[in-house]
Structure 1
Amino acid sequence: MALQTIPARIRWAVDILDVQPADQVLEIGCGQGEAAELICSRLQTGKLLAIDRSESGVDRTKRRCAEYLTAGRLAVRHIDLATLRVPVKRLDKVFAFNVNLFWVRDCQDELALLHERLSPGGTIALFYDANRAEQLPTQLEKASAALVQAGFRVGVVDSKNPAVVGLLGRR
């Protein structure tokens, strides 16, 4: 099936994530299902668990990615990260785009769960639109500090076009 229209910023972020065919991936805040669709298109034996606090986000992702749900490559849940029990022993990658959790409040419990579940060498990738110049420094500073405090080694990736900045936390 041909992929639906996916914004350049999402394509760039998923390319950076470097999804492999057997990866176990968690997407936090699946929203429109754009990243879920692109991630699932790269999986063969791997799986994506996409979560969102918004019921409408879950519904949109399920509609957009019905083929991958049927194939067993995708599970979508209406839940927030704080109450999630990850159904696999190990995750290879965690993906979030413009998710406020990591810079708005204390998220150490959630990051501890992710650190515990990520495979050695696994990555948590937090991406933010760089067009929000007034918020970006605060977002990056707070999210980076939270990742470091949780035991991740943090690197930064960025793109001018599309305007995106990502924090890559490695276990």
Structure 2
Amino acid sequence: MFLDTLLHRTFGRPNGLLGRLGGKLMSRSKGEFAAWVIADLDLEPDDRVLEVGFGPGVGAERLAEAVPDGFVAGIDASPEMVEQARKRNAAAIGDGRVELRYGFADDVPSEDCVFDAAMTMNSMQVWPDAVAGLRELRRVVKPDGTVAVAFTHHSGQSKDELPKLLADAGFDEVRTGDRGDDFCAFAKV
């Protein structure tokens, strides 16, 4: 129980000193993983993209590079991660190309059908209700948009349950991809 609490405060919903340390560790390991997921989103330079559970902001940084004429929004349920991600993305935030907020997957502060794509990496396993969070992603992504739900092998998430969770959230077309022990499900809205 103590170890679970410690890991949750460090990586699941980073909080306090442990959360800051967890963010620094995550920022060193997420770059290549984020690049792999983003490459399969097949983004256009002017796309609008949402990241849920952006952690230390590595994915948001890579997304901003992938959509230089677009916009990246993000929400994360950890104030520690919002702070770290805002520092990492300060220039793009200053340019108005990135906006990072505190928030939850099942309550995205956005109108319907605003984003061309959305992604979440190593986040869904700590959402209170995975299907509710996925429904929110479906709500805010435009028709024909893509949602990527990705996990590293450290997440403890089962690859086999992803297609059913996405179907329960209303997604029709789902495909999965692997990179070693890491995996991602891509779903069309």
Verify same fold: TM over 0.5. yes
Deviation at 1:117, TM superposition (A): 2.3
Partner in structure 2 of residue 157 of structure 1: 177
1:147 to 160, 163, 166: 166
Give the SS at the match of 2:110.
coil
Aligned match of 2:114: 90
Letter in 2 for 1:31: G
C-alpha contact (below 8 Å) 1:40/1:68 kept by paired residues: yes
- Tell me the number of residue pairs that the alignment of Structure 1 and Structure 2 aligns: 161
Residue type matched to 1:16 in 2? D
Aligned to 2:146: 123
Give distance in 2, aligned partners of 1:39 and 1:65. Answer: 11
- TM-score, normalised relative to structure 1: 0.83
Checking the alignment, whether the CA contact within 8 Å between 1:154 and 1:170 is kept in structure 2 is: yes
CA distance in 2, matches of 1:33, 1:49: 11
The 8 Å contact of residues 43 and 73 in structure 1, kept in 2 or not, is answered as: no
Within a 5 Å distance, the mapping from 1:128-139 to structure 2 comes to: 128-130=151-153, 135-136=156-157, 139=158
More divergent stretch after superposition (145-154 vs 31-40): 145-154
2:106 partner SS: helix
Matched-pair contact (CA < 8 Å) for 2:106–2:134 = no
Shift of 1:165: 0.5
Within 1, Cα distance between the matches of 2:121 and 2:170?
21
Task: Give the letter aligned to residue 142 of structure 1.
Answer: E
Q: Distance in 2 between matches of 1:32 and 1:147?
A: 26
Write 1 or 2 for the structure with the bigger share of helix: 2
Separation (CA, whole Å) in 1 of partners of 2:128 and 2:105: 13
Aligned counterparts of 1:9 and 1:115: Cα–Cα separation in 2 = 23
User: Which residue in the other structure is 1:44 paired with?
Assistant: 68
TM-superposed deviation, 1:113: 2.7
Pick closer, same or farther for the CA change 1:58–1:88 going to 2, 3 Å: farther
Take 1:122 and 1:25, find their aligned partners in 2: how far apart are those partners? Answer: 10
Query: RMSD in angstroms over aligned alpha carbons?
Result: 2.3
RCO higher in structure (CA 8 A, sep ≥6): 1
CA shift, 1:69, in A, is 0.1
Structure 1 pair 89–7 and aligned structure 2 pair: CA distance change class (3 A):
closer
Matches within 5 A, 1:8-23: 8-23=32-47
Indicate the SS of the match to 2:159.
Answer: helix
Per the alignment, residue 24 of structure 2 pairs with: none
User: Aligned ranges for residues 34-113 of structure 1 at < 5 Å?
Assistant: 34-87=58-111, 89-101=113-125, 106-113=129-136
Give the share of equivalent positions with the same residue, in percent.
24
* One-letter amino acid of the counterpart of residue 20, structure 1: E
